[in-house]
Amino acid sequence: MKKFLIVGLGNPGAEYVNTRHNVGFLTLDAFAKASNVVFIPGRYAMTAETRIKGKTFRLIKPTTFMNLSGKAVRYWMNEENIPLENIIVVLDDLALPYGAIRLKGKGSDAGHNGLKDIEATLGRNDYARLRFGIGSDFSKGKQVDYVLGEWSKDESLDLSLLIDHCVKACETFALAGLNTAMNDFNKK
C-alpha cells in the first residue's frame, strides 16, 4: 500500500487558529473532516490517518511552530517510511493573490520560514509544495502583522471553498500524480 505524507504548515495555539499563516492547518482540518478522521497528539505533530482508493494518507500539523517544521516532517517521513516524492507541504504565500494556488514538485523557500527549516533539516528542496495565495495587502513593515492576522470579512466569504480546492489538489497529487495535479489545479 502506497503512503503519502500531507503536511499542513501553521502555528499551534488558539491565537493562531484563524490566521493567514495557518492555511496549511485549515486545509488539513478540512481534509480530516471530509475523511471523517480526527487528529490526535503525536510526536512533533497532531496527526491523523485515512485511506482513499488503496492509498494511505498520513496528515500532520507540526506542533513545533512554523520555524521548526522540518523536525516534524523528518520524524514522520522516517516513522512511516514515506519517500520524499510522496510528500506534499501546504503553506501560505504572500507572492500569490488571495485564493490562487500553485503546486510545484520542488523549488526555493521564497523566504517562507517553514520551507526554509524543512529544506535545512532534510538537506533538499525537491518535495511537492502547494502554495495558497494570501496576497500582500499590507503596509511597509507590517508583513508579520498581516501574515499572523486573521482573514478579512471578504476573504472569509469563500475561504472554505478555496480550502476544499486545496484538499482536492492534495488528493489528486496522491491518486493521479504531480503532473496531473499541477495541470488540473495550477490554472484555476
Q: Which domains does the chain have, with CATH numbers?
A: 2-185 (3.40.50.1470)
d(CA 19, CA 125): 26
The secondary structure element, H or E, covering residue 164 is: helix 153-176
HSE-up (13 A, CA, CB side) for residue 34: 20
Per-residue confidence at 188, pLDDT binned at 50, 70, 90?
low
d(CA 47, CA 76): 9
Q: What is the mean pLDDT of residues 177-181?
A: 96
Q: How far is CA 98 from the centre of its chain?
A: 16
Residue 140 has pLDDT above 60, yes or no: yes
Question: Helix 153-176 crosses helix 23-35 at what angle (to 10 degrees)?
Answer: 60
Q: What is the mean pLDDT of residues 56-84?
A: 96
Residue 167 has pLDDT above 60, yes or no: yes
Residue 161 has pLDDT above 60, yes or no: yes
* Residues annotated catalytic, as ranges: 21
What is the pTM (predicted TM-score) of this model?
0.95
Per DSSP, 150 falls in state B
Residue 12's pLDDT is 94
